Amino acid sequence: MKTNMQKLFLPALLVMLASSAHADSPAVPTVVVTHSELKGIGAQPGVMRRDPSDIIRVGDLYYVWYSKGKISPGYDATVWYATSKDGHQWTEKGMALDKGEPGSWEAASVFTPNILVAEGRYWLFYTGTSKKYGKGFQPDSKIGIAVSDSPDGPWERLATNPALSNSPNAADFDSHLVDDACLIVREGKIWFYYKGRQLGKGPGQTQMGLAIADKPEGPYVRHESNPVIPGNHEVLVWPQGKGVAAMIGTTGPKAITNSILYAEDGIHFTKTHNVKNGPWAGGAFRPEAFTQSGEGKLPKWGVEIGTPQRKQSGRLPCIQRFDVTEKD
């Protein structure tokens, strides 16, 4: 087991390694992201849609899940879903998951969903919080799982929920909260990447962790190398060949922000690309995410949080599309 001192110095060490590895190397390629409006789940006065899941395809339909509510943050929301034949025109199908029972860890909100397809079933990972949103709010979020035989539900919460809670050790990077599950199947196991925040730290000091399970329902065991990435407020990972790639947004040490990182072992990441105009809390179409094919590539498109034009009433977050192009 690592000592508390090792845990405190690990993020700094990872940043130094990433910086030194590329200090004298040729310029890395750049990924350019463009953004466009969607039909069906785009801007709507008085309606908030945000935090979209990664996208799966079932038959001739794409599926996405997301937080929906009436305030800008996701802290008073339920989980909804939509389908599309082309990734541009979407049809909202309804609520997938309601808030939990009064007094439970998920009573105040369920939000930030993501999807895993394994063992012929659909596993909906989601974040929950028990505290009502308001002045002085401090989220106490944990991550649960619901399962269904169909992407259209109905969804049954696991009795073992929450699947991942904040660490009881105050020195750990995720002792305040955990959020934002992103799943891949690798080496015959479920790899569960997530973001965490330490007690006393702010959103800008969020980092990324990893937990692994033999089965979709868990139990999920944190990796001893956590945090595996010393930054990133939105978790977007995918299988890249034999390894794992992660797109990093604007949060974290300068050496890794607005970039793509790669780890052949899924744990020790180094920078491979710069990212221009990256997505905000993006969920990607990752066709190899659960196949273990060794043929995963950079996602070409996905959905993200969008902000309506100023002239539109309310300006609550909505869902929009992003497309990815790799430049030399």
pLDDT of residue 4: 47
Helix (H, G, I), strand (E, B) or coil at 227: coil
Full pLDDT tens readout for the chain, 328 residues: 444 444 444 444 444 444 444 443 458 899 999 999 999 999 999 999 999 999 999 999 999 999 999 999 999 999 999 999 999 999 999 999 999 999 999 999 999 999 999 999 999 999 999 998 888 888 889 999 999 999 999 999 999 999 999 999 999 999 999 999 999 999 999 999 999 999 999 889 999 999 999 999 999 999 999 999 999 989 999 999 999 999 999 999 999 999 999 999 999 999 999 999 999 999 999 999 999 999 999 999 999 999 876 555 568 999 999 999 988 6
pLDDT, residue 190, reads 98
The ranges assigned to domains in the chain are 30-327
Taking a C-beta distance cutoff of 8 angstroms, is the pair 54, 115 a contact?
Answer: yes
CA triplet 266, 258, 166: central angle to 5 degrees? 55
- Give the C-alpha distances (Å, rounded to integers) separating 235 from 29, 181, 196, 327: 21, 7, 10, 23
The architecture (CATH level 2) of 30-327 comes to: 5 Propeller (2.115)
pLDDT of 274 reads 96
